[in-house]
Amino acid sequence: MEILYIALLTILASGIGTITGFGTSTILIPILLLYLPLPETLLVVGVIHFSGDIWKMILFRKGFEWKLILTFGLTGIIASFLGARIVFSASPEILLRILGAFMLAYVIFLVFKPDFKVPKKNLTAITGGGLSGFFAGIFGVGGAIRTLFLSAFDLQKAVFVATTGAIAFLIDSTRIATYLINGVRLEDAYLWGFLAFIPASFAGTALAKKLVDKIPQRWFRMVVALFLFIMGIKFLIFP
């Protein structure tokens, strides 16, 4: 039953993560921590997230922004490796609360300054890639930062989803390999569980594709901002 619950939750988490660019790990990690230590939880969710990255690239394959993938991805790979290396000794509470406060401040600022955007520069992409890679490696929740910085470039919906998936693919590949190299292993039940988790990830992504097509472009940034606000409160109060 535990595997079934996680599979059903994966459908929901993958759907939200596809639409907003983040949320898959934020939903799954607190649940899996009820059953597994943090390193094993990060590995399970990392593999689920990795499969979701692949589905995004396949289903939205006509929308890649390659320059952003390279600038976000290269710094993200390095930062993800560094974050994953210290996951076994770091305490996440303080950093996640700082992250939550920053996200809330950003969204509130947008309410009063709706025309403001993070500068549309290479430095924005490099910084966003580095921060999202580090938080993904150490906490498994780098997507919110990646979305925050990627939103500066006002990408069309399909391009946003495909580009986010490609960047996350690079980061997740790095952190999963680092977890395995550092000796993280899973029980057989969870290894067999991937036979359900990976198709569930595809189902959530496919359902989200239908919803993304129905969201008007002018509302898309507001939907993303709303999820940033919710996740900011979550990180700040319940890190």
Nearest in space to 129 (alpha carbons), one of 78, 63, 54, 86: 78
pLDDT at 102: 75
In angstroms, the Cα distances linking 171 to 33, 161, 205, 210 are 22, 15, 19, 26
pLDDT at 30: 77
Q: b/e per residue, 118-149, with b = 16+ CB within 10 A?
A: beeeeebbbbbbbbbbbbbbbbbbbbbbbbbb
pLDDT at 224: 66
Nearest in space to 131 (alpha carbons), one of 76, 88, 58, 189: 76
Nearest in space to 157 (alpha carbons), one of 217, 79, 111: 217
pLDDT at 217: 59
Distance in Å from the first CA to the final CA of the chain: 27
pLDDT at 69: 94
pLDDT at 90: 67
pLDDT at 37: 84
pLDDT for 142-153, tens place per residue? 887 888 888 888
Alpha-carbon distance 110 to 51, whole Å? 33
Q: Where are the domains of the chain?
A: 2-237
111, two tokens? 């309410």
Q: How many helices (H) and strands (E) does the chain have?
A: 10, 0
Instruction: For the chain, list residues with pLDDT below 70.
Output: 90, 92, 95, 110, 113-117, 217-218, 220-221, 224
pLDDT at 116: 63
DSSP code of 120? Answer: -
222, two tokens? 């507001």
pLDDT at 236: 85
Alpha-carbon distance 14 to 21, whole Å? 10
Alpha-carbon distance 181 to 187, whole Å? 17
Q: Write the CB contacts of 188 (distance below 8 Å, at least 6 apart in sequence).
A: none
Alpha-carbon distance 152 to 137, whole Å? 23
